[in-house]
Amino acid sequence: MTEHLPAGRIAECVGGAPTPEAQRHLGECAQCRAGVARLESALGQFREAVRGWSDGQSEAALERARAAARRPGRAWFRWPVLAAAALALIAAPVYKTLRDRQRAAQALADAQLLEQVDREVSESVPSPMEPLAQLVSWDSASQDSSQDSSASSSQNGEVR
Amino acid sequence: MQPVASADLPADAVESPARELDDFDALVRKYWPRVFRFALASLRDPDAAGSVAQDCLMKAHRQAAGYRGDASVNTWLMQIAVNLVRDHARSRRMQFWKRTRESAVNWDDVVRRIPQAGANPETGAAARERVGAVWKAAAGLPERQRTVFLLRFVEEMDLLEIAAATGLREGTVKAHLFRALEAVRRRVEGAK
């Protein structure tokens, strides 16, 4: 009897790729055969346990997914969601154009308002007092003109 | 609902895969159990597994036009599922939930599904111990080894199918599988 199979060789046998030497050895060695059988048995029981566990959870999980799909906003089973998404894609450029136009109109209105404010701020007196201010300015204008004429007369050496 | 194994898929699944992908309800009926099972075995969280199975089938249905038919529908779905499970497991949110919910997996619920567990107390205890050893060993495997291990020993896919589903070469699949098996064997022998 040769030495027992090294651990890696047993894994290869269980994994479905035994070397010819390993196969020959398994035919002769009950201990290594038992080692392979133990691992295969454990893996088989593990598979059955996981499958049974999954079968017990699967239906409930599918129902949860379907229930979630029926709730608004989570409709992974429903085409209307895709239709709505497509509609949104089409509507987005239209909405953007309308919004751009609104923004342009608003910007124009803002500019006009600012211009008006600037104009009013630059005025020397408030608009209700404008007639009075005009009277004052006419008066001062006439005084100014008389002062101007006397000044020019004295410059010219004229005597009243 | 019975699990779907590649060996017992109906003939029409192979003959008209594109049409099969178009019929979403049929796709869910036929493949949900298997995709869910793989996700559940990988993530050990029924809610996360349901979410992955849902995303997987939706994605397959939406991308039906991109299905070239190089692999079976089953292998193609498992390829999508493998990627979704990986993304899910890597997400930060999942890491958080993994830590907090690890203990929430009802081990008793898994153990009572073991065929011989109820036969007699002695063999039942031994079976529980062996399955527990595989369960713990699988949890401790690196991601790729665990994926390959589950696809081989829970889904019973062959090496070429696993290679197609994982995008790995057959030799790499073998290497991951043998390492995983060796880790499991050590644990099982330790539990003996």
Q: What is the ipTM of this complex?
A: 0.82
pLDDT of residue B144: 95
Pick from B142, B110, B144: nearest CA to B127: B110
pLDDT at A153 over 50: no
For chain B, positions 21-60, list CB contacts with chain A under 8 A.
24, 28, 32-33, 36-37, 40-41, 46-47, 49-51, 53-54, 58
CB distance from A45 to chain B under 8 Å?
Answer: yes
Q: Mark residue A73 as left, alpha or beta (left: phi above 0; alpha: psi -120 to 50; beta: remaining).
A: left
What's the rounded mean pLDDT across residues A109-118? 84
- If one compares B61 and A147, the residue with the highest pLDDT of the two is B61
- If one compares B18 and A121, the residue with the highest pLDDT of the two is A121
| Contacts A64 to B, Cβ<8 Å | 47, 50
Tokens at A100, concatenated: 């751009």
Buried b (16+ CB within 10 A) or exposed e, A10-30: bbbbbbeebeeebeebbeebe
Please list the ranges in chain B whose pLDDT falls under 50.
1-15
Burial of B58 (0-12, 13-18, 19+ CB in 10 A): middle
Burial of A142 (0-12, 13-18, 19+ CB in 10 A): exposed
Average pLDDT along chain A: 78
* Residue B158 burial (CB count, 10 A): 14
Axis-axis angle for helices B24-43, A30-70 (nearest 10): 130
Tokens at A131, concatenated: 């007639």
pLDDT of residue B2: 39
Task: Please count the residues of chain A.
Answer: 160
pLDDT of residue B3: 38
Sign of torsion over alpha carbons B136, B139, B141, B145: positive
- Most trustworthy range by pLDDT among A75-79, A101-105, A149-153: A101-105
Interface test with B, best of A4, A53, A57, A79 (most B CBs within 10 A): A53
Nearest to B50 among A11, A51, A64 (CB): A64
Q: Which of A72-81, A91-100, B127-136 has the lowest mean pLDDT?
A: A72-81
What's the rounded mean pLDDT across residues A143-148? 54
Residue type, A58: S
pLDDT of residue A146: 54
Distances (CA, A) of A31 to A36, A57, B143, B188: 9, 39, 32, 16
CB contact under 8 A, A56 and B109: yes
Burial of B24 (0-12, 13-18, 19+ CB in 10 A): middle
